[in-house]
Structure 1
Amino acid sequence: MSASTIRPEEALIYAMVIASAADTDMSEKELRLIGRLVQTLPAFANFDPESLSRVAGDCAALLDDDEGLDRVVDMIARALPPRMRETAYALACETVAVDGTAHQEELRLLEILRHQLDVERLVAAAIERGIAARYRAL
């Protein structure tokens, strides 16, 4: 598989990795969440969880290039069928939300991802609102 071609499951992982890396701090909470989601979500039923570290590392290595983020976001969009693009956006939002605070860099990344994945603004707002409610503390 070439460096510019990834499987849909890998694209979903890439979306979570770039969301985690957006603020330059991949927290332990974010990494545990990614692992848990890969273990439990139906979207990953055909994915070997043992490959998670390799896939995340491949994504992180791509981000080291000057145009790495643009390249990764493009790879995500090309790898996903249209019906899975909202899922990718939701997973990225959940990764941002798990820490309890969304930093400006993370919000900008979500905006870039939403545009590249062509997620409608109202759909994105619904996803964001639902995830915010899910992670709201008492």
Structure 2
Amino acid sequence: MTDQDSHPLTPQDCLVAMMIAVSASDEQIRTAELVKIESAIDNLPIFATYDVDRMKTVSQMVFDLFAEEDGLDALFGLVTDNLPERLYETAYALACDVAASDGLLDETELRFLGEIRYQLNIDRLHAAAIERGARARHVRE
């Protein structure tokens, strides 16, 4: 078995999956959310060596999992298996930025962010700081 077989997702794939998942959680992927995801991939150091062509594959994986009964559990299983714990807060921060990017946080997105917090065991105080930062970065007049 090769390393690729045992780790089908790179840490960057996991970050992309969380961004796509929060965007798709309300069943509407908005342009502002896609722009935020692309901007993160284009500008953040964690994605410096990321093959952007993988975004389509990762997105399709997320959509396929969302269509399955236990797909959300499977998604979080893949993420926790392939994302180093040191990047859990990064995943949450990126998801919060995507959710806040269109200025609309509906109940579905908020529940999904809560599930990310729970699954990745994000400390409440750290989560509050991350959420406040996302709100501050995406405030509208």
TM-score for both structures, normalised by structure 2: 0.91
Which of residues 86, 90, 95 in structure 1 aligns to 2:89?
86
Which one is further off, 51-60 or 96-105?
Answer: 51-60
Q: After TM superposition, where is structure 1 displaced by more than 6 Å over at least 4 residues in a row?
A: none
Give the total of aligned pairs.
138
CA-to-aligned-CA distance 1:9-62 (integer Å, 9 cap, x gap):
100001001100111101111112111111111111121112212221222112
Give the alignment's Cα RMSD to 1 decimal: 1.5
Asked if 2 retains the 8 angstrom alpha-carbon contact of 1:35 and 1:52, the reply is no
Which of residues 71, 95, 99 in structure 1 aligns to 2:98?
95
TM-score for both structures, normalised by structure 1: 0.93
**In structure 1, distance between residues paired with 2:139 and 2:34:** 19
Structure 1 spans left out of the alignment, 5+ residues: none
- 1:48 alignment partner AA: D
1:32 aligns with 2:35: yes
CA-to-aligned-CA distance 1:79-114 (integer Å, 9 cap, x gap):
111110000000110110001011101011011111
Which of residues 127, 132, 135 in structure 2 aligns to 1:132?
135
Q: Identity rate of aligned residues, in percent?
A: 37
Asked if 1 retains the 8 angstrom alpha-carbon contact of 2:13 and 2:54, the reply is no
**In structure 2, distance between residues paired with 1:89 and 1:83:** 11
Asked if 2 retains the 8 angstrom alpha-carbon contact of 1:100 and 1:136, the reply is yes
Q: How does 1:1-138 map to 2 (within 5 A)?
A: 1=4, 5-138=8-141
